[in-house]
Amino acid sequence: MNRVETGKSTSKGSEGPSVWKGEFAPSMESSSTVKIRPRYGHYIAGGWVAPKAGRYFKTLNPATEEVLCEVAEGSEADVGSAVQAADRAYKDVWSKMSGAERGGYLFRMARLLQERAREFAVLETLDGGKPIKESRDFDLPSACNHLFYYAGWADKLEYAFGKRESRAWGVAGQIIPWNFPLLMAAWKIAPALACGNCVVLKPAETTPLTALLFAEIVEASGLPPGVVNIVTGAGPTGAALVRHPGVKKIAFTGSTEIGKLIAQNSAEFDKRLTLELGGKSAHIIFEDAPIDQAVEGVVQGIFFNQGHVCCAGSRLFVEESISTLFVEKLKRRMETLRVGPPLDKNTDLGAINSKEQLTKIQGLIQRGKEEGALYFETSCKLPDRGYFLRPALFERVSPSATIQREEIFGPVLTVSTFRTPEEAIQKANDTQYGLAAGVWSDKGAKLFEVSRRLKAGVVWANTYNKFDPCSPFGGYFESGWGREGGLHGLYPYREVL
Amino acid sequence: MITVAKTHKMFIGGAFVRSESGRTFNVTLAAKSVAKGTPRSRASSAPGAALLAPRTAASAPSATLSVQLGRASGKDLRNAVEAAEKGFGAWQKCSPFLRSQILYRWAEMVEGKREEFSHLIESAILDRHASSSKVQRARDVSAEIRNEVGAEFERGLASLIYFAGFCDKFGQIVGSLNPVSGPFHNVTFPESVGVVAYVGLAGGPPGQPGKSNRSSRNTQATRTTQSTRTTQSTQTTRSGKIHKLSKSGEPSGKLGGSGVGFGELLCDLAAILASGSAVVALIPGARGIFVNTLGEALATSDLPDGAVNLLTGEVEEILPTMASHRRVQALSLPNRGGVLTPGSILVEAKKSAVGNMKRVVGGHRGEESMEHLMEYSEFKTVWHPSAI
């Protein structure tokens, strides 16, 4: 798995022969395990339903620009029947079931998904463009673990809510993004079901396929029809779900822009929102940090999943005394990153998720250059077709530069320097976001104090981009409302009486 | 002897100020005799009631006192937010244990002003009774009101002490050491949300301003019945009340109205402070009479300047600025349950709070509970590798 290992002084790519120039022979994962149907309807009340308006849209493989299949475009009527199905399942079956029974289904789903993990990983990579080694070693295990973790909570909720009585909201509407499609589905479905809610899930329009395949897991687990419903579509489908009066609870992961729209549209209704939104997370390197490990951490922090990560460490702050050395080592390490076919097991950075996202990132890079920052990108070859970008960084970035303030959501890092811890903290907190932050130092006391003063929901000290089902995740300020994961991830899914 | 009347001021950044706009509005207080000898509690009031002479306030409404409250402007609000940012920094520097002690000291200072507060509470209650056209039979009402005043004061004081003791405890209850798979130390703990803008409107149905419930269970019961009973017409009445306030262009000069009661106000402010956050509170209309005296108690409590800022004035005028202010992290609105009227001032405030994704809270106002305090907290999770 392409993730940071810390605590030991081994490091790759920074000693000996400085840059690996050899070519790797292709090592393609077979896609024969995956059967994609030519056309998918919505999954409502335990069955496949054609969209009422009869409209479909295409989903592409961003690495080849080939059409994978057609997917139903959800209308207000489709959303209506899904919510109705969820509501009926909630009233007739799910709300009457014991926590242990609900947990039983979740345990089953976790196991069934584990068994078919490779198939899901390949499909995730085909539809979304992420490297197979990440979908295989991160997305799938994490998704299974999330289901398994929350399964065990279902019959222990009285411990989670202390002396307060609580009850499920009923129907939860869940809207998920395209960067970790199946993992986000698991993050949403697992706690909702454990807490006794029924769900209507809307996957992102560019990556609906793993969620639709997950319907088979739902079915195989014997989950009562209507407890999990999946409606596909783009923004208008999501908006219909948010507006629906039968949906008491909304959980959304995506951009701050859309999160704000959802919050505004819910202002007059008594709806509960969990919003996991954007970020512009700071990554601070002190001069006393283990340099080579920190370089690895920075690389993982920004280039993991092509930088399509809400908590990506996209603003690097290096102590001035080591900045020249650090940036040199960082560039050298970046040169070893391989951009290539996502199904190739050697690929470090796969395809950018969509043409739209590619254009957006390119626009921001252009803006960065125009605003006077110093641009660097690696020299690797890009595939001829598909949406690809080289890992890149900007130096001499002003605090007010567009690329320093706006979320790029791509493999682009900004580098700035600082002289004192106070300055580092001040610069790190100079953002409207507050999702995550990273800090590297050999001094324990310094780490504690800096971690405390960084305004972010997750702080990684001497590591970065670590996730676990039992570890709460979520941000301050414009990075959203609420937490997902762990004990704290249960709170949004029950009404405290 | 000529009575020396007190000039009522707002409390911003530890200083007593009038509105920079120079504007004021008039509020009428009850005559002073009543507050004397206000019993400590309901229990002790019964035997003591006979000792109290028939009072003049209810029977002789002419014996009243008129005060001018400052009508805060948007500029006052912005000054208060600036002060609150400084106050937040200083309050954060206090250890939770020290915050506990300071909140307790605040309770001591409030106790020292029991007589003065009782007078203000009584004024509010009398006015409320008058506005709900309750028949006032001098003697009965006096006893009833005296009990009510005592209970309201005790409730506020008790809430201060309750939350004083919570500052250094809730973190242990809601924090966690997370057993992640892998060689990592992983902890989650609460942090203060930052600067809170608090709108001192009561959450209950009209006619019961400031009514709130001690136990969390009760609160929910009230809320549930409320929302099940709520019809379109009562909704209209509720928002209509606010509109009335706004249309007149003047803050309600009458006590009561929809302002928050003394007990709930202290409870809410204490919860915000216990979380480690700082607050800019607008106590609208005639309930603004509490502000000056509360400020005096706060100013002598060792509380850092700016941790609590109290404004008087009009919701319609101040709320929009509160809701859109980018240096405010949470907006505490009264919990009115159910669907709000589109276009009403509360809905517009919620929409404008989205500008910087303020947390819109208030669902647990008036409660002595950890959930109330947690409305003003965020969770932070910190990872660190574990290795030799």
The string of pLDDT tens digits covering residues A459-497 is 999 999 999 999 999 999 999 999 999 999 999 999 988
Closest chain B CA to residue A7: B387
Q: Please, what is the end-to-end C-alpha distance for chain A in angstroms?
A: 44
**Is residue A468 within 8 angstroms of chain B, CB to CB?**
yes
The correct CATH number of B10-166+192-380 out of 3.40.50.620, 3.40.50.300, 2.60.40.10, 3.40.605.10 is 3.40.605.10
| The pair of three-digit structure tokens given for residue B329, joined into one six-digit string | 């992290």
State the CB neighbour count (10 A cutoff) for residue A318.
27
Q: Please, what is the end-to-end C-alpha distance for chain B in angstroms?
A: 80
Q: Where are the alpha helices (DSSP H) in chain B?
A: 42-49, 56-59, 74-93, 96-112, 114-131, 138-164, 170-174, 216-229, 232-248, 262-274, 289-299, 315-324, 345-353, 370-374
Tell which phi-psi region holds residue A213, choosing left (phi > 0), alpha (psi between -120 and 50) or beta.
alpha
Identify the band that residue B204 occupies on the pLDDT scale cut at 50, 70 and 90. Answer: low
Whether B45 contacts B21, CB under 8 Å: no
State the Cα–Cα distance between residues A219 and B52, nearest whole angstrom: 75
Question: Is B54's pLDDT higher than 50?
Answer: no
Look at the block and give the residue holding tokens 């989650």.
Answer: B188
**Is residue B216 within 8 angstroms of chain A, CB to CB?**
yes
State the CB neighbour count (10 A cutoff) for residue A365.
20
| The pair of three-digit structure tokens given for residue B263, joined into one six-digit string | 């007990």
**Residue in B186, B350, B357, B364 to test binding to A, most A beta-carbons within 10 Å:** B357
Looking at the DSSP bridge assignments, the partners of residue A376 are A393
| The pair of three-digit structure tokens given for residue A61, joined into one six-digit string | 């493989």
Q: Is A276 a catalytic residue?
A: yes
| The pair of three-digit structure tokens given for residue A254, joined into one six-digit string | 């995506």
Whether B349 contacts B320, CB under 8 Å: yes
Question: Is B256's pLDDT higher than 60?
Answer: no
Question: Cα angle vertex A253, ends A250, A255, to 5°?
Answer: 120
CB-side neighbour CA atoms (13 Å) of B37: 15
Residues 6+ apart with CB under 8 A from A217: A109, A112, A113, A116
Please say whether the dihedral angle defined by the alpha carbons of residues A10, A15, A16 and A17, taken in this order, is positive or negative.
Answer: positive
Regions of chain A with pLDDT less than 70: 1-22
**Is residue A497 within 8 angstroms of chain B, CB to CB?**
yes
Contact yes or no for B381 and A7 at CB 8 A: no
Q: Nearest Cβ partner of B357 from A460, A480, A487? A: A480
CB-side neighbour CA atoms (13 Å) of A233: 27
CA distances from B114 to A478, B35, B259 (A): 43, 9, 21
Buried b or exposed e, range B165-201, using 16+ CB within 10 angstroms = ebbbebeeebbbebebeeebebebbbbbbbbbbbbbb
CB-side neighbour CA atoms (13 Å) of B170: 30
The most confident of the ranges A3-17, B61-75, B109-123, B191-205 is B109-123
**Is residue A268 within 8 angstroms of chain B, CB to CB?**
yes
Q: Which residues of A touch B338 (CB under 8 A)?
A: 270
Q: Nearest Cβ partner of A476 from B173, B341, B378? A: B378
pLDDT for the residue numbered A13? 42
Helix (H, G, I), strand (E, B) or coil at A326: helix
Closest chain A CA to residue B375: A482
- B135 by Cβ neighbours in 10 Å (0-12 / 13-18 / 19+) ranks as exposed
Q: Which amino acid is at B29?
A: L
Residues 6+ apart with CB under 8 A from B66: B26, B27, B28, B29
The more confident residue out of B208 and A34 is: A34
Question: Is B217's pLDDT higher than 80?
Answer: no
Query: DSSP string of A72-125?
Result: E---HHHHHHHHHHHHHHHHHTGGGS-HHHHHHHHHHHHHHHHHTHHHHHHHHH
Q: Which residues of A touch B368 (CB under 8 A)?
A: none
Tell which phi-psi region holds residue B285, choosing left (phi > 0), alpha (psi between -120 and 50) or beta.
left
Please say whether the dihedral angle defined by the alpha carbons of residues A251, A253, A259 and A261, taken in this order, is positive or negative.
Answer: negative
Distance from CA of B379 to the nearest CA of A (A): 6
Q: Which amino acid is at B387?
A: A
Whether B262 contacts B153, CB under 8 Å: yes
Q: Nearest Cβ partner of B178 from A8, A468, A478? A: A468
Whether A152 contacts A20, CB under 8 Å: no
- B372 by Cβ neighbours in 10 Å (0-12 / 13-18 / 19+) ranks as buried
Question: Is B32's pLDDT higher than 70?
Answer: no
pLDDT for the residue numbered A452? 96
State the Cα–Cα distance between residues A488 and B174, nearest whole angstrom: 9
pLDDT single digits (tens) A300-318: 999 999 999 999 999 999 9
| The pair of three-digit structure tokens given for residue A117, joined into one six-digit string | 């993990």
**Is residue B185 within 8 angstroms of chain A, CB to CB?**
no
Catalytic residue among A195, A198, A310, A311: A310
pLDDT for the residue numbered B341? 80
The rounded Cα B362 to chain-centroid distance in angstroms is 11
pLDDT for the residue numbered A21? 60
Q: Which residues of B touch A470 (CB under 8 A)?
A: 178-180
Q: Is A310 a catalytic residue?
A: yes
Contact yes or no for A466 and B351 at CB 8 A: no
pLDDT for the residue numbered B155? 97
How do the domains of chain B map onto residue ranges?
10-166+192-380
- The domains of chain A, with CATH numbers, are 39-276+477-496 (3.40.605.10), 282-461 (3.40.309.10)
pLDDT for the residue numbered B65? 80
State the CB neighbour count (10 A cutoff) for residue A54.
9
| The pair of three-digit structure tokens given for residue B336, joined into one six-digit string | 């009115």
> Which pairs with CB-CB distance under 8 Å and at least 24 residues apart come from A5-12?
A5/A296, A6/A290, A6/A293, A6/A296, A6/A297, A6/A462, A6/A463, A6/B385, A6/B387, A7/A462, A7/B183, A7/B385, A7/B386, A7/B387, A7/B388, A8/B387, A9/A290, A9/A292, A9/A293, A11/A292, A11/A293, A11/A295, A11/A296, A12/A296
| The pair of three-digit structure tokens given for residue A377, joined into one six-digit string | 């990108």
Of the listed ranges A47-61, A102-116, B158-172, B235-249, the least confidently predicted one is: B235-249
Residues 6+ apart with CB under 8 A from B283: B200, B259, B260, B265, B290, B291, B310, B311, B312
pLDDT single digits (tens) A245-287: 999 999 999 999 999 999 999 998 889 999 999 999 999 999 9
Q: Which residues of B touch A496 (CB under 8 A)?
A: 220, 371
pLDDT for the residue numbered B142? 80
Catalytic residue among A73, A119, A124, A276: A276
Of the listed ranges A45-49, A401-405, B132-136, B360-364, the least confidently predicted one is: B132-136
Q: Nearest Cβ partner of A270 from B329, B338, B381? A: B338
The more confident residue out of B42 and A106 is: A106
pLDDT for the residue numbered B140? 57
